Each structure stands twice: as C-alpha cells, then as structure tokens.
Amino acid sequence: MPDMRLRRLQQRQTFLAGLALALSVAPAFAQTGGVPRDAAGFTEYVATQLRPQLGGETVVVREPLVIGIASQRTRIDKLYAGCESNRSNCAEDVNAFVKTTAQQFRAGTIPAKRESLRLVVRTAASVQQAQRDMGGDASTFRPRAFVGPLVTVPVFDTMRASRLIAEQDYKTLGLSVDQTRETARKNTYDALPQVLQTAKPVPAGEVGKMDGAVPQPSRLIFIDDWKPLADAQGGKLIVAVPANDTVLYVGDDDAATLDALRAQVREIMVKSATPLSDVLLRWSPSGWVPLN
C-alpha cells in the first residue's frame, strides 16, 4: 500500500511539473488563437506568416515589432496594439495584414511595361492615402473622377499584384499622361470578357456576383457593355463594387432586394483585404447614377 501511495504521489508531481513547464513557456499563447502576446514572439509569428506569402524573398525579424522584407523595414506596433486591445480578432487582423503587406511588396517589384497597364476603379480616399504613404499629394497618380466617391486611375497590373503609376513611370514608358490612360483603357477592355459572358441575368430578389483574378470593377468604365444585361433584366440594373476583385448586381430596385445587396456588400468589405466602396450605382445609357 505505501508503494501505491508513493507511485501516485510521484505521478501527481510529474503531472504538476509538466503543467508548470507548459504554463511557463506558453503564456503568450493563452486565449489568443495561437498568436503570442509578447512583442518578440508576436513579431516572429507575423514573420512566419509572411514567409510563405513572399516565396523566396527574405523575411527577417529586425527587432521586436519591426520586420525586414528584403531591404524594407516594416513596423507592426499598430498591429500589435490592435491585438492587445481586441484579442478575439487578433488572428484575423494578422491574416489581413499579411495578405495586404505581401500584395504591396509584390506590387513594388512590378516593372513599368506598356502591356501591363490597366485602368482601374478606386476611391478618391484610397488614392489619397496611397500618396500620403509615399509622401506628397494625390495628383502624382493622376486619378480622374468617375462617379460618386470612385475615380479611375492607371496601374501596372499582373495576376499577383498591381501598383499605381508614379511620375517617373511615364518617362520609362515614353508616353504622355493621356497616352498612358488610353493604353491602360484599351488593355483593360481587351483583357475583360463581355459582361454577359460572365454575368447572367438574375431574377427579382436575387443578387448576382462577378469575381475572380481580373479587376472586375474596371468593367464599370465601359458603360455600353452593361446594356445587354440591363435589357435582359427589364431595363433595371443596380451594381456595387465592395472589393477590388468583386462586382455585385441585382435586376430590380425593390427595398428588400436593395437591403440584401447592401448586406452582402458590408460582409464582403469586412472580410476583404482590398475593400472598395459601399455605394450602389444604377445603370443608365448615359452613365452610372449613385443611389446612396
């Protein structure tokens, strides 16, 4: 009997020792969905998530809350602070940061070539923010008003990323601003299938969706191409562009249908790494008309 008690005591001591060790080495992971809470561990975690996204590019930890991507230094102190204030969304916030950072880095490596020019739809606010990030004002990127909060702006685009055109790129291309926009517009039109090849007419009350690798919102630039879809839906067509790769549309303007459309727009914008706009646009032969 004493031997039995001794074995049980030893087993209990072993269990408690193992538990103490686990708690001593893993407090940073408690209740965080696997994201470390200490600054150094958090930085290594984010770097580990970035490495597979950037392929052979070198991603290193420079110091706590500073990551090196090739020669670039990226601070993640705001991301860390956000995680500290809202642990339940931390893993999702890190995932969104990783996707956006990888896209931005890949975009910076896109060469200035005429064949990769595209004309895309963005918000004026996003172009202004991009310019502030680089320094200066938004005129460098030459945006032009489109409809509501949306502008059109030329970019260099590949299947993996895109980047706005900077002033020095016009010299590299050997094109004027107008020639660059016209080349971008033609390239975009040639790269997009006709609307009815991608978007099928939807019954009243349903929401149609166009998404994929091509810059779907750029389709809005070519207003005449939407006429067959509008005609097929009895002349009614309302669209939304919640993300850089998504267009939603409906074939009626019933209040319940518009509410369903707005709900999907909100959901996509919250989840997307590249949200665009919640504005609804009604098609007309002369152009898009904002509804909200």
Distance CA 58, CA 51 (A): 7
With residue 210 as reference, give the H or E element that holds it. strand 208-211
Distance CA 119, CA 191 (A): 11
| Ranges of H-type helices in the chain | 2-25, 39-53, 77-85, 90-108, 124-134, 167-173, 177-191, 195-198, 227-232, 255-271
pTM exceeds 0.95 for this model: no
Q: What is the pLDDT along the chain (292 residues), one digit of tens a residue?
A: 445 454 554 444 443 343 333 333 333 333 345 899 999 999 999 999 988 888 656 788 989 999 988 777 888 988 999 999 898 889 989 988 888 788 777 666 678 899 999 999 999 998 888 777 665 555 577 899 999 999 999 999 876 677 888 888 899 999 999 999 999 999 999 998 888 888 999 999 999 999 877 778 999 999 999 999 999 999 999 999 999 889 999 999 999 999 999 999 999 998 887 899 999 999 999 999 999 6
